[in-house]
Amino acid sequence: MLSQHNITHLREVARTQRGWIKALLWSPNGRSVAIASADGITFHDAQTLKLIAPLKGHDAPVKAIAVDRSGSILASASADTTARLWRLQQGGAQTLLTGHADSVDAVALSPDVALVATGSADKTVRIWDVASGQQRMVLTDHTDEVTSLVFLSNSQFASGSWDRTVRIWDIESGGCQHTLLHQDWVRHLTLSPDGQTLASSSRDATVRLWDVETGTEKLRLTAHANGADCAAFSPDGQLLATSGRNNAITFWSLPTGQPLHVIRDHDKPVLTLAFSPDGTRLATGSGDNTVRMWGVD
């Protein structure tokens, strides 16, 4: 397990190259890593990062991906204005979600896998039924591109936007319960393992941690000159890894926010990162077109 005691011993253990990497995630069993890029969606062995298989269907770069806890359904969002649901245990059978008028930049699955949310450069958030692929609602409160989505529970989700806000929504009513403010674009959202804390990464060079229930700010981390791009909680919730436009990855101790270690090996901004399900490794994807795997020596 990566911890504040051994994080300074991280080293690169594997690497792969893809074009225009935007997002990555681990399979729930930790055996593979899915990468969203200009190449579409590709699966890679978690130990070596060697290519296992691609998912073909989108006609433009894939900008976001999400997977359910069983690893049976993957959702994708693309610049081709569509989102797709891939049933991985059914040979990659697809459900096409159409309705957005511009690039689909964000996607999230509800914990019970009943709903999928999509966010777009058309400034809307749309909620869809996973079983039927039918659209259930359209939310139009954001005034600029919607860049990130995360479900907080089966009844709540959060959206981040270039309009400098994070909004927390009630699914049943479609109403906005809390509006959380940054000083610049919100680029990424992620939820803590215990479901109590929402982390938002912004071009204002901060990562902010919010209480999900009250919407109050719990901690503000000033990091990554020219903007923060992404954050990831370790599975035990004791570490937060952040990345951004200074090409660095920074590790923080939680709940104090004490900085612990910095990795500066990528040549361009680090756009995405994720801890393995067992907490022993960290995968990072960068504008330098590499995905790198980090582990303790």
- DSSP structural state of residue 181: E
Counting residues of the chain whose pLDDT is more than 70, the rounded percentage is 100
Residue 89 is predicted with a pLDDT of 84
Are 195 and 153 spatial neighbours (Cβ–Cβ below 8 Å)?
yes
User: Does residue 93 surpass a pLDDT of 90?
Assistant: no
User: Does residue 188 surpass a pLDDT of 80?
Assistant: yes
The two three-digit tokens of residue 11, written as one number: 């080293």
Rounded to two decimals, the pTM is 0.95
Ordered structural domains, the chain, with CATH: 7-296 (2.130.10.10)
**φ and ψ at residue 258, rounded to 5 degrees:** -70, 130
The two three-digit tokens of residue 17, written as one number: 């190259």
pLDDT single digits (tens) 34-82:
999 998 999 999 999 999 999 999 999 999 999 999 999 999 999 999 9
Report the half-sphere exposure of 228 (CA within 13 A, side-chain side): 27
Place of tokens 């993957």: 74
Helix (H, G, I), strand (E, B) or coil at 235: coil
Residue 90 is predicted with a pLDDT of 81
